[in-house]
Structure 1
Amino acid sequence: MTGSPTADDSAESADTDAVTRRRALAAGAAVGLAGLAGCTALDVATGDPAEFTAGTATVADATLDESGYELNEVTENTQTREVDVAGSTREVRVTSRVAEYDKAVELFGERYQAAVFAVLATPRIEVLGQAFNPVGDLDDEERARLIVDRYEGVRSLERGSEYTTDVLGTDASVVVYSGEGEIAGTGVSVELEFHVAEAVEAGGDYVVPLAAYPASFGDGENVRRMLNGIEHEPASDDD
Structure 2
Amino acid sequence: MTTSRRAFLAAGASLGLAATAGCLDFVQGNEPLEFHADRVAPAQSALEDTEYEERAIEKETIEESVEAGVEREVRATVWLSSYTKEMAYQDEQQEASLFTAISIPGMEVAGRSFNPIDDMTNEELLDEFVDEMDGEHGQVEDLDHQETYTLEVLDGTRDVDVFLGETEFQGERVDVELRMTSFDHEGDILVLLGSYPEMLADEGPTIDDLMKSVEHPAEN
TM tier relative to shorter chain: 0.7 to 0.9
* Corresponding residue of 2:104: 122
In 2, Cα distance between the equivalents of 1:129 and 1:161? 33
* Corresponding residue of 2:190: 207
**How many residues get paired?**
208
Q: Is the 8 A contact 1:29 1:95 kept in 2?
A: no
Q: Is the 8 A contact 2:12 2:67 kept in 1?
A: no
* Corresponding residue of 1:164: 150
Q: How does 1:45-124 map to 2 (within 5 A)?
A: 45=24, 46=26, 47-85=30-68, 87-124=69-106
Cα distance change on mapping 1:92 and 1:234 into 2, 3 Å? farther
- Following superposition, the deviation at residue 207 of structure 1 comes to 1.0
Task: Classify the secondary structure of the residue corresponding to 2:160.
Answer: strand
Alignment gaps of 5+ in structure 1: 1-23
Alignment gaps of 5+ in structure 2: none
Task: Classify the secondary structure of the residue corresponding to 2:14.
Answer: coil
The residue identity in structure 2 corresponding to 1:191 is D
The residue identity in structure 1 corresponding to 2:54 is L
Task: Classify the secondary structure of the residue corresponding to 2:117.
Answer: coil
Cα distance change on mapping 1:53 and 1:120 into 2, 3 Å? same
Q: Is the 8 A contact 2:130 2:140 kept in 1?
A: no
List 4+ stretches of structure 1 deviating above 3 A: none
TM superposition score normalised by structure 2: 0.85
| Aligned partner (choices 221, 228, 238) of residue 212 of structure 2 | 228
Cα distance change on mapping 1:106 and 1:222 into 2, 3 Å? same
Query: Quick check: which one's helix share is greater?
Result: 2
TM superposition score normalised by structure 1: 0.79
Q: Is the 8 A contact 1:73 1:100 kept in 2?
A: yes
State percent identity of aligned pairs: 27
RMSD: 2.2
